[in-house]
């Protein structure tokens, strides 16, 4: 039972906001590509697949960072850092997760299978970028956004501009919210030599976030224009913009770790609001077509 609990901690079973953040851009793309009527099969594959790939990403991250995590207050109790699990245990868990992911991917078309290889590469490389470059959050954004390209391909068997724009929007968005997340660890990261955009931007982090979130909204607006979404979608973007402005203001005033964590988690709702806007607009379009 102790090992089972440690495995649950390893894949963050009690903290699924990461899964939801990964899932949202994928669902935006899936719903748009299917004109608001995604099949139950595809919904299951991409919702369950988001959980599996986020879990795999957590395992890879903890395997790569197990020596660093011991010296960071927030992560010192993680299963590998604390010794509750061995590296071989984590490797077995990772193998099982990737095997499940493979089964899910093989249920899709050939293009989607090929695109999934890039997703695996991005998931695997992100933990190591923190040692090498000042902007590892960009790689997280790429990993979280690539699901949008895969989902579109699963529905239409093509890579189209809307999915690439959702990928780009997620790149900006995830870089922003992961910068907020990195702000919680900035002192520990400096001590152990891990890089982040929070360290790179420093006291101008709120300015960088304002730019990233502005680019997110602009790119999502372009997605709406190309796919001919209407007022409900625009209203959802307006709500998201207000949320972004509030966060930038709060950070410009200075925040403690607990407040930063709450801001980070609130991005799940930002993703949900955009999804609701897309679904609502497509339902209205479908009703008018009848």
Q: What percent of the chain has pLDDT over 90?
A: 72
> pLDDT of 15-65, one tens digit each?
999 999 999 999 999 999 999 999 999 999 999 999 999 999 999 988 988
pTM recorded for the entire structure: 0.93
Q: Is 79 within 8 Å of 7 (Cβ atoms)?
A: yes
Q: Annotate 5-19 with three-state secondary structure.
A: HHHHHHCCCCCCHHH
Q: Is 50 within 8 Å of 151 (Cβ atoms)?
A: no
Q: Name the token pair of 201.
A: 């931007």
pLDDT tier, 134 (very low <50, low <70, confident <90, very high otherwise): confident
Q: Is 130 within 8 Å of 195 (Cβ atoms)?
A: yes
Cβ partners under 8 Å of residue 136, min gap 6: 126, 129, 130, 195, 196, 197
Q: How far apart are CA 117 and CA 285, in angstroms?
A: 35
| 35-44, 61-70, 165-174, 222-231: the lowest-pLDDT one | 61-70
Q: Name the token pair of 275.
A: 């999804």
Q: Is 118 within 8 Å of 159 (Cβ atoms)?
A: no
Average pLDDT score over the chain: 92
Q: How far apart are CA 232 and CA 243, in angstroms?
A: 17
> pLDDT of 201-224, one tens digit each?
988 999 999 999 999 999 999 999
Q: How far apart are CA 163 and CA 136, in angstroms?
A: 23
Q: Name the token pair of 240.
A: 């998201």
Domains of the chain: 2-289 (1.10.357.140)
Average pLDDT over residues 260-287: 93
Q: How far apart are CA 97 and CA 84, in angstroms?
A: 20
pLDDT tier, 156 (very low <50, low <70, confident <90, very high otherwise): very high
């Amino acid at each position: 039972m102790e090992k089972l609990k440690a495995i649950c901690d390893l894949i963050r079973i009690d903290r699924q906001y990461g899964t939801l953040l990964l899932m949202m851009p994928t669902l935006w793309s899936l719903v748009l590509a299917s004109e608001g009527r995604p099949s139950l099969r595809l919904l299951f594959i991409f919702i369950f697949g988001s959980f599996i790939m986020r879990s795999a990403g957590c395992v890879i991250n903890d395997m790569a960072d197990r020596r660093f995590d011991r010296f960071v207050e927030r992560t010192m109790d993680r299963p590998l850092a604390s010794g509750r699990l061995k590296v071989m245990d984590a490797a077995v868990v990772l193998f099982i997760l990737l095997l499940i992911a493979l089964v899910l991917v093989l249920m899709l078309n050939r293009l989607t299978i090929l695109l999934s290889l890039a997703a695996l590469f991005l998931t695997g490389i992100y933990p190591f970028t923190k040692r090498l470059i000042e902007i590892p959050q960009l790689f997280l954004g790429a990993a979280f956004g690539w699901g949008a390209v895969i989902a579109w391909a699963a529905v239409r068997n093509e890579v189209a501009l809307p999915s690439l724009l959702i990928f780009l929007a997620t790149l900006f968005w995830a870089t922003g919210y992961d910068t907020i997340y990195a702000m919680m660890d900035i002192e520990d990261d400096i001590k152990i030599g891990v890089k982040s955009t929070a360290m790179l931007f420093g006291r101008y982090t709120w300015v960088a976030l304002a730019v990233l979130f502005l680019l997110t909204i602009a790119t999502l607006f372009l997605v709406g224009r190309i796919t001919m979404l209407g007022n409900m979608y625009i209203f959802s973007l307006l709500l998201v913009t207000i949320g972004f402005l509030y966060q930038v203001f709060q950070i410009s005033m200075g925040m403690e770790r607990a407040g930063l964590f709450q801001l980070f988690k609130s991005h799940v709702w930002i993703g949900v609001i955009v999804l609701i806007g897309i679904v609502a607009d497509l339902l209205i379009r479908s009703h008018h077509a009848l």
